[in-house]
Amino acid sequence: MALDVSKVRYISLIRMEGGESVLNIPYAELTVDPDLIAGFVTAVIIFAKTPIRTIRKAAYDILIEVGESVLVLLVVDPVPDEAPYREKLNRILEQVESEHGDKLKHFEGDIRRFREFALDIVREFPFSSVDLDLVPIRKKSGVRIPFRVGAVDHDLEQIESFINGKRTVAEIMDLIGFSDDKVMALISILDRYQWIDFKARLAEDDILVRADCPKIKLGTLQYRREDIEEILEKFDGTRKIKEVAESLPYDSRVLLFLLNKLVDIGCLTVKKD
């Protein structure tokens, strides 16, 4: 059974020897303080006579994988098959032990050095399932990304430089030179912390409907207002874009570019089925 990232609520890396949470990544709201969950799980693991890998609560399950210096804790909505989640947890565990095992064993209290590892976790568990055919659009501001440091900050800047409101996620994947899972993780981070929105690229079979928009918005477009008005009048909610294009004396590529602009500023909307 496939993994459903919408079921994931919280992931934490907890140092085995002292029980400190060195990295916490919230995915959804929890009714219980995550620190209390981490403390409870650590105590159970330390004092249990037999290994415990799952703790079931009324509203969620806690999946646990334990290594030499760290345990990985995943809070997830009840799922019928834990296997795909555990496979990813084990990959995270192996990687953090390999890269940070010594630092965790000789811990000096500074958890900041582990923040960059958040991207490796999000590569395994993206914040959302991103539609490759959608076009990401940058927003002026968002919520502070707590692990936007070092290499993560550099990678986010790289992905942001490819987001121009025209390229789909799939096209960005082809251009940027990152692995697909890394692109998906970075896009999901920007989405999770409200730095981007998404829009669908117009297709020839789409039906557009004229919407009320102030004339001042039309003035922002570098086209004659008479031409724009002529185009807008053609869209009455019954004709496909390709049908309108055939009735107008404009290059279809130029027209499609202009239609995308008109949708962006709210003068046209895509008719829903």
Give the pairing of strands 134-138 and 70-76.
unpaired
Task: Give the orientation angle of helix 225-234 with respect to helix 252-264, to 10 degrees.
Answer: 90
Highest-confidence segment of 51-55, 76-80, 194-198, 233-237: 194-198
Phi, psi of 54, deg, nearest 5: -140, 130
Whether 151 and 191 share a structural domain: yes
The total of other beta-carbon atoms located within 10 Å of residue 154's CB is 10
Residues 53, 110 within the same domain:
yes
Q: Residue 113 pLDDT > 80, yes or no?
A: yes
Same domain? For 19 and 79 the reply is yes
Q: Distances in Å between the alpha carbon of 185 and those of 123, 124, 152, 239? A: 5, 8, 11, 38
Tokens for 45? 């693991």
**Are residues 254 and 223 part of one domain?**
yes
Inform me whether the pLDDT recorded for 57 exceeds 60.
yes
pTM for the complete prediction?
Answer: 0.82
Residues 161 and 233 occupy one common structural domain? no
Judge whether 87 lies within some domain: yes
Please give the residue range of the domain that contains residue 257. 207-270
pLDDT at 6 > cutoff 80? yes
More confident residue, 196 or 254: 196
Q: Closest Cα to residue 159, out of 130, 122, 198, 186?
A: 186
Domain final position from 160, 177, 200: 200
pLDDT tens figures, 186-221: 999 999 999 999 988 888 888 998 888 777 677 777
Reported as type and span, the H/E element at residue 196 is strand 196-200
For residue 128, pLDDT over 90 is answered with yes
33-42, 75-84, 123-132, 223-232, range with the lowest pLDDT = 33-42
Q: What is the mean pLDDT of residues 106-128?
A: 92
Of the ranges 72-81, 206-215, 260-269, which is most confident? 72-81
Q: What is the mean pLDDT of the chain?
A: 88
pLDDT band at 50 (very low <50, low <70, confident <90, very high): low
Residues 245 and 153 placed together within one structural domain of the fold = no
What amino acid occupies position 12? S
Instruction: Please check whether residues 228 and 190 belong to one and the same domain.
Output: no
Residue 120 included in any domain? no
Instruction: Give the whole-angstrom CA distance, residue 119 versus residue 123.
Output: 6
pLDDT tens sequence across 223-252: 788 888 888 888 888 889 999 888 888 888
Q: What is the mean pLDDT of residues 79-106?
A: 93
The DSSP 8-state label assigned to residue 5 in this structure reads G
Query: Domain check: are 80 and 51 in the same one?
Result: yes
pLDDT at 170 over 70: yes
CA quadruple 93, 99, 102, 103: dihedral sign: negative
The residue with tokens 């409907």 is 209
Asked if 167 contacts 237 with a C-beta cutoff of 8 angstroms, the reply is no
Rg (CA), the chain: 24
Q: How deeply is 26 buried, as exposed, middle or buried, from its count of CB atoms within 10 A (0-12, 13-18, 19+)?
A: middle
Tell me the pLDDT band of 121, cut-offs 50, 70 and 90. Answer: very high
Which of helix, strand or coil describes residue 182? Answer: helix
Q: Which range has highest mean pLDDT (24-28, 45-49, 144-148)?
A: 144-148
SS3 193: coil
| HSE-CB for 122 with a 13 A CA cutoff | 30
| pLDDT bucket at 255, cuts 50 / 70 / 90 | confident
* Number of folded domains that form the chain: 3
Instruction: Please measure the distance between the N-terminal and C-terminal CA atoms of the chain and give it in whole angstroms.
Output: 31
